[in-house]
Chain A
């Protein structure tokens, strides 16, 4: 089944304790992205990657890191989490068509992170 898989689904941690949220897709998509979703603010892009070893900041990158060493994986790293990073996080992926324009993003089921 074609899907984007995030782990864990739920995570409770304390301020300052480094954590990683994993994301993997099995659709051979070039493009991957992380979003956070907060009530009243909608989906905001954190980081994105156009392909292996190519990453760039989105709208709210502060406090986050990413890496893209393999095409299928795009982990989100919080080096020193703070309470304002408590949120619902989504990983997404899509194909990139040079000649046909953009294609729909496929989303994972989310990771609910609580930082106390």
Chain B
């Protein structure tokens, strides 16, 4: 399908290596963060989330790190596989007058070389 990743940063890794995808968020008051994976022709798929009262959370082969001091979020993927190739988005939950709103980053393309 048509790429949604024009001009996005790209991370190329060798199969089996670890990947680290970074995200800078904008609002120091944001209290909830999510990483999504989007494969070609599909909608964004939830990977892992973290609330602001934590600085690390682990899932299956994935770890999210949150550094509130510098407003930075990272996604670590262990033993990267070809099936991990996709666009990865971070999202932050911002508090608005009317409630909460998820604001998405532009995304990073992950390419896994076999």
A37 to B44, CA, bound (A): 11
A12-49: CB near B (< 8 Å → 1, else 0) gives 00000000000000000000000001111011010000
Asked whether A109 and B6 contact (CB < 8 A) given A42-B106, A42-B107, A101-B32, the answer is no
Residue numbers in A under 8 Å from B59 (CB-CB): none
Specify the main secondary structure of chain A where it touches its partner. Answer: strand
Q: A88-B4, A109-B42, A109-B43 are in contact. Are A42 and B105 (CB under 8 A)?
A: yes
A107 touches B44 (CB 8 A): yes
Rounded to whole angstroms, the CA-CA distance of A108 and B43 in the bound complex is: 6
Within 47-100 of A, Cβ neighbours of B (below 8 Å) are at 50, 56, 88, 90, 92
B43 closest partner in A (C-beta): A107
B98→A90 contact, CB < 8 A: no
Among A37, A108, A109, the residue within 8 A (CB) of B4 is A37
Q: When the two chains form the complex, which single residue of A37, A38, A88, A105 contacts B102, counting CB atoms closer than 8 Å?
A: A105
The CA-CA distance from A45 to B100 in the complex, in Å, is 13
A-B contact count (CB 8 A): 60
Closest A residue, CB atoms, query B107: A42
Given A104-B46, A107-B45, A40:B2 Cβ within 8 A: no
Q: From B31, which residue of chain A is reached at the shortest CB distance?
A: A101
User: What is the size category of the interface that chain A forms with chain B?
Assistant: 20 to 34
Contact across chains for A104 and B34 when beta carbons are under 8 A apart: yes
The minimal Cβ–Cβ distance linking B39 to chain A, given in whole angstroms, is 10
- Beyond the given pairs A101-B32, A112-B1, 4 more chain A to chain B contacts, judged by CB atoms under 8 angstroms and listed by A's residue number, are A40-B6, A42-B107, A45-B102, A105-B102
B residues bordering A, Cβ < 8 Å? 1-7, 31-32, 34, 36, 41-46, 49, 51, 89, 91, 93, 98-102, 104-107
Across the A-B interface, the 4 shortest Cβ-Cβ residue pairs: A107-B43, A39-B6, A43-B104, A104-B46
